[in-house]
Amino acid sequence: MNQHASAMASPDRLRQSLLAYGLLWCLGLYLRLTVLVVPPLIPQLKSVLGFTSGEVAIATSLPLVTLAVGGLATGWLLARLGVRACLLGGLAVMALGSALRSLPEGFLPFMLATLLMGGGIALMQAAMPVLAKLWAPARIGRASAVYTNGLLVGELLAAGATGPLAAAWLGAHWQWAFALWVLPVPLLMLALVVGGRRLPAMMGGSRAAGLTLPDLRDGRMWRLVALLGAAAALYFTGNVFLPPLLEESDRLALLAPSLTALNGAQMLSSALLIFYADRLMGRPRPLVAITALALLALPLMLWLPGMGVVWAAGIFGFFTSALFIFVLALPAWLVRLEALPRLMAGMLCFGYLLVFAITVVGGWLNDLSGTVALAFLPTLLISLTAMACTRRLLDARQQEA
């Protein structure tokens, strides 16, 4: 009888797993898609709206500030509203903000709409690791790789398809690309409401929940900040400064294939980690090696001639995405569920403030010196710091996390 019941339960568990991973993937799709619409439109932003390189860097990385500020309220929002409300509210606000970026005709209105969009992404980003731990407590690495794969597919779509889409379909109305990408969001919200009823209950909210600030004395948080700073700075600086790099060497025609290679290779590494992430969790050498290889790919991307930049961008993207997946999975692996929102609050707040500063300083260095290579200097420094503190971070895992 028990064997029969187990056999009957297995298809149900499989369907639940597929539904959970499918929803995680779709939610991950919108964690970065609307952010990465900007790099393919950099030539139009500069020529039509008059943005400088520094303003383009701000336009791309400003959502990181809202992720940082939202990080301060992460624990409180998750406790008060619950995971479902954070995800639904985040999706709605993100879509509205992205759509509004199609309307303004100047830098300040564009930035205000970007801030709104980033606020929605912050709500979603805060809830995703908690949702992964709730729906796949024994497969946190796999669940994180699944929604990160969705994130990277979103980046690939935005980076690779926005330019050709705007040129072929939108023409002079290229700014409507910001609104076009968020048209499917209402369908995703409906799928989350309906599909979520068939999965383990999402953490509910409580009106009595109070604001809990990050623990500034928690060494794990600061080491996670360094790792997040390295992973996200590598990715953002790669996307933001690749266009001026190609423009500087008269290879702007390679922009679309280079961005596609960078983001496509990220998708490949995230697909591989769906199967291998849980085996590598907690091992410092693979994490340090991944960071080092991402750094070693930078000189190739900067100095290889001709089509070599496309291959170098692919190598760079492969290892930066692998690092980012582990960074997103580590908080849920390190601590118990009740401690996760507070740790995520500090990691997101200080980590994304750090990444914003690194990206903007890189833009200023590029503007002041006229040398694109100097834009990557702050990213190099934070990556070396992250490598130095990886082992101590992994040794600090809570028992029964």
Q: How confident is the model over 233-292, as pLDDT tens digits? A: 898 788 777 888 787 777 888 888 887 788 778 888 988 999 888 888 889 999 999 999
Mean pLDDT computed over every residue of the chain: 83
Q: What pTM, to 2 d.p., does this model score?
A: 0.79
Under 8 Å CB-to-CB from 285, ≥6 apart: which residues? Answer: none
Highest average pLDDT, of 77-86, 188-197, 304-313, 378-387, comes from 378-387
Per DSSP, 209 falls in state -
Residue 183 DSSP symbol? T
Q: Would the pLDDT of 13 be above 50?
A: yes
Q: What is the pLDDT of residue 288?
A: 94
What band does 303 get if pLDDT is binned at 50, 70 and 90? confident
pLDDT given at position 96: 95
pLDDT bracket for residue 174 (50, 70, 90): confident
65 has a pLDDT exceeding 80: no
CB burial readout 301-326, b (16+ within 10 A) else e:
bbeeeeeebbbbbbbbbbbbbbbbbb
> If you compute the radius of gyration of the chain from its CA atoms, what whole number of angstroms results?
20
Quote the CA–CA distance of 98 and 116 in Å, as a whole number: 8
* Each residue's pLDDT tens digit, 107-158: 888 888 988 898 899 888 888 988 888 888 888 899 999 998 998 788 778 8
**Who has greater pLDDT, 348 or 302?**
348
Mean pLDDT of 7-17: 69
Residue 271 has a CB neighbour count (10 Å cut-off) of 15
Which residues contact residue 244 at a Cβ distance below 8 angstroms, ignoring those fewer than 6 apart?
53, 366, 372
Buried b (16+ CB within 10 A) or exposed e, 69-100: bbbbbbbbbbbbbbbbbbbbbbbbbbbbbbbb
Q: Give residue 249's identity as a one-letter amino acid code.
A: S
User: Are 321 and 55 contacting, i.e. CB atoms less than 8 angstroms apart?
Assistant: no
Other beta carbons less than 10 A from residue 195's beta carbon: 14
Q: Which residue has the tokens 């624990």?
A: 75
pLDDT at position 394 is 92
Region 381-398 average pLDDT: 91
Which domains does the chain carry?
2-394 (1.20.1250.20)
CA distance 378 to 361: 7
> Is the pLDDT assigned to residue 386 strictly greater than 80?
yes
pLDDT at 207 over 50: no
Most confident of 1-10, 162-171, 308-317: 308-317
DSSP assignment of 210-266 equals ------TT-HHHHHHHHHHHHHHHHHHHHHHHHHHHHHHTT-GGGHHHHHHHHHHHH
pLDDT above 90 as % of the chain: 25
The three-state secondary structure class of 133 is helix
- The arithmetic mean of pLDDT across residues 209-223, rounded, is 80
Alpha carbon distance 16, 13 (integer Å): 5
Q: CB–CB of 48/171 below 8 Å?
A: no
In this prediction, residue 14 carries a pLDDT of: 80
Sign of the CA dihedral running 201, 218, 282, 350: positive
pLDDT of residue 259: 79
**pLDDT score recorded for residue 200:** 64
The better pLDDT of the pair 89, 266 is held by 89
Inter-residue contact 342 to 75 (CB < 8 Å): yes
Amino acid at 48: V
Q: What's the token pair of residue 117?
A: 């969009």
- Look up residue 172 and give its two tokens: 């002079």
How confident is residue 4, by pLDDT bands cut at 50, 70 and 90? very low
Q: What is the mean pLDDT of residues 20-30?
A: 93
The residue among 267, 260, 271 whose CA lies nearest residue 311 is 260
- Placement of tokens 């907690």 in the chain: 282
Express each pLDDT in 344-374 by its tens digit. Answer: 888 988 988 898 888 888 888 888 887 878 8
CA 34/CA 29 separation, integer angstroms: 9
Q: Which two tokens stand for residue 168?
A: 């072929």
CA gap 349, 234 in Å, rounded? 18
Q: Would you place residue 189 in the very low, low, confident or very high pLDDT band (cuts 50, 70, 90)? A: very high
* Local confidence band at 7 (pLDDT 50, 70, 90 cut-offs): very low
